[in-house]
C-alpha cells in the first residue's frame, strides 16, 4: 500500500508538471500558431491563457504590432542618369499569422530584401526633380510595389513607406547651388526692371501733367530748391524766371 501511494503521488506530480508545460500565455499584441506533430492546427490562439498538449504540440507566437523597419541606403541611377543614394522607412504589420510563419522562413528579412530592391527599382524610374519634390507619389509607388508580393503570400501588409533622404553627389550639389543662385539673380533683375518700368511710366505722367500747368512746374522747382538748400555745403545758382520776364514785357507794352 505504501508503494502504491508513492506511485500515485509521483503520477500526480507527473500530470501536474505536464499541465504546467502545456500552459502558454499569449500577450495582447500576439497570436499563437499551434503545430501538432508538425501540422498547423486550424485557427490561431488569441491573447490570454491557452493550453497545448506537451511534447505533441508546439506553439509559435507572432507579433501583430506595426513594425518600423529602416531600409539601408541604396545607390541607384535616376531616369535622367544621376547617381544618388536613397534610404527609406517601411511600416508594416502581420495580418495573417499562419502565412507569416508557414509561407516564408523569416518574414522580417524577406520584407527588408523586397523593400531594398523595390527602392532601387522605383527610384530608377523617376527623375531627380521628382525624387526631391514629388515625395508623396514616390511613397505611394513604393508602398504598392512592396505590398504586392507580401500581403497575399506572406500575410504581411505594408501600411506606409516614407523616403528619408536623397543624398546627391558633391558635383550635383554645386551645380544645383549655381542654378538656384542664377534663378535668384534672374528674379531680382526682373523685379528691378519692372520697378524701372513703373517709375518711368509715372515720371512720364508727371511730366505731361506739369507741361499742362506751368505754375505746377514752378512749385516743383521751388520744392527742389528747398530740398537742395537744406544742404549747408551746397551752392545754389537760380536761373532768372522766364515767366517774370514775360510779366515785365506785358507791363511795358500796356
Tell me the pLDDT of the chain (254 aa) as tens digits: 667 676 776 767 766 676 777 788 889 999 999 999 989 998 898 999 988 888 888 999 999 999 999 999 888 888 888 888 899 999 999 999 999 999 998 999 999 999 999 998 898 888 888 888 888 898 999 999 999 888 889 999 999 999 888 887 776 666 666 666 677 777 878 888 888 888 777 777 766 665 666 666 566 666 666 666 666 666 656 565 555 555 556 666 65
In a domain, 102, yes or no: yes
The three cell numbers of residue 176 are 544645383
- Do 116 and 141 have their domain in common? yes
- What are the φ and ψ backbone dihedral angles of 91, each rounded to 5 degrees? -110, 120
Question: Is 33:97 a contact under the CB 8 Å cutoff?
Answer: yes
pTM over 0.75: no
Give 112-165 as a 3 state SS string.
HHHHHHHHHHHHHCCCHHHHHHCHHHHHHHHHHHHHHHHHHHHCEEEEEEEEEE
Domain extent for 22:
2-62
- Do 86 and 156 have their domain in common? yes
- Do 54 and 74 have their domain in common? no
- Do 57 and 71 have their domain in common? no
Amino acid at each position: 500500500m505504501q508503494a502504491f501511494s508513492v506511485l500515485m503521488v509521483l503520477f500526480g506530480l507527473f500530470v501536474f508538471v505536464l499541465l504546467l508545460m502545456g500552459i502558454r500565455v499569449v500577450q495582447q499584441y500576439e497570436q499563437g500558431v499551434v503545430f501538432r506533430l508538425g501540422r498547423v492546427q486550424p485557427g490561431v490562439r488569441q491573447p490570454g491563457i491557452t493550453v497545448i498538449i506537451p511534447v505533441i504540440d508546439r506553439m509559435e507566437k507572432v507579433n501583430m504590432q506595426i513594425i518600423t523597419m529602416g531600409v539601408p541606403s541604396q545607390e541607384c541611377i535616376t531616369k535622367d542618369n544621376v547617381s544618388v543614394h536613397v534610404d527609406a522607412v517601411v511600416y508594416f504589420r502581420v495580418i495573417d499569422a499562419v502565412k507569416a510563419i508557414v509561407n516564408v522562413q523569416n518574414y522580417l528579412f524577406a520584407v527588408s530584401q523586397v523593400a531594398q530592391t523595390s527602392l532601387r527599382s522605383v527610384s530608377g524610374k523617376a527623375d531627380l526633380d521628382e525624387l526631391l519634390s514629388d515625395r508623396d507619389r514616390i511613397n505611394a509607388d513604393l508602398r504598392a510595389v512592396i505590398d504586392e508580393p507580401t500581403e497575399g503570400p506572406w500575410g504581411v501588409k505594408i501600411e506606409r513607406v516614407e523616403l528619408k533622404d536623397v543624398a546627391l553627389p558633391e558635383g550635383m550639389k554645386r551645380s544645383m547651388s549655381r542654378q538656384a543662385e542664377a534663378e535668384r539673380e534672374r528674379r531680382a533683375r526682373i523685379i528691378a526692371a519692372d520697378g524701372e518700368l513703373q517709375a518711368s511710366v509715372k515720371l512720364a505722367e508727371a511730366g505731361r501733367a506739369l507741361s499742362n500747368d506751368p505754375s505746377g512746374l514752378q512749385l516743383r522747382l521751388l520744392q527742389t530748391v528747398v530740398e537742395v538748400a537744406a544742404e549747408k555745403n551746397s551752392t545754389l545758382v537760380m536761373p532768372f524766371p522766364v515767366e517774370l520776364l514775360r510779366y515785365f514785357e506785358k507791363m511795358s507794352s500796356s
